[in-house]
Amino acid sequence: MPDTEPVQINTSQGQSRLTRLADMPFLKGVVLPALVIIAVVVAGVGTGFFISTGTGKVAGIATKSGVSVAPGAEVKKGGAEAGLSDTATFRDSAQGVLEQGGIDGEGTHHLVRDGGPSQNVYLTSSVVDLEQFLGKKVEVWGETFAAKKAGWLMDVGRIKVIE
């Protein structure tokens, strides 16, 4: 077997620039986290922009004939009637003039009915935008919920303008 002599290789000049940058501690401690933060911010802004310029389907609300309703709800008669036709779920009904405001945090709106404030029906709705029917005499169909302050609290599923 021939005698071999160890060979020394000088690698200080042969290192690539990439290897030298990877060995620098500021790259791992500052630059990499900064790039991750920038990527997260850009993704968040892009998502927000996409949702805000969508047709409303992304947010879960659709606008039909100028009335905002939940997906699956219908708007009939030029916006005079809106909501779901689910008579099994929305079996309770009431009539009155729709006004804004609940009572002690229960309901967002109320129906003013004959007989004074004790006869008011306090309303909330995840199906129909009640704001578009303010000041009108309406009939609502919904589901009654237990309330602490309101005499009658209803989740409105369908609304129809009477006058």
CA distance 57 to 129: 15
Query: What does the pLDDT look like over 96-107, one tens digit per residue?
Result: 999 999 888 888
- What does pLDDT average to over the chain? 78
- What is the pairing mode between strands 67-69 and 92-100? unpaired
Question: Which position has the higher pLDDT, 28 or 35?
Answer: 35
Both structure tokens of 31: 């630059």
Report the distance separating Cα 92 and Cα 135, nearest Å.
21
Range 63-161: architecture per CATH = Beta Barrel (2.40)
Residue ranges per structural domain of the chain: 63-161
pLDDT tens for residues 79-138?
688 888 888 888 899 999 999 998 888 889 999 999 888 899 999 888 888 988 999 999
Which of 74, 93, 96 shows the shortest CA–CA distance to 85?
74
Report which listed range, 65-74, 77-86, 147-156, is most confident. Answer: 147-156
Question: What's the N-to-C CA distance of the chain in angstroms?
Answer: 111
Strand partners, 107: none
pLDDT, residue 129, reads: 86
Task: Quickly state the pLDDT bin for 7 (edges 50, 70, 90).
Answer: low
Contacts of 131 (CB under 8 A, 6+ apart): 100
pTM of the model: 0.55
Residues 153, 147: contact at Cβ < 8 Å? yes
What are the structure tokens assigned to 47, written together?
């998502």
What percent of the chain shows pLDDT beyond 70? Answer: 67
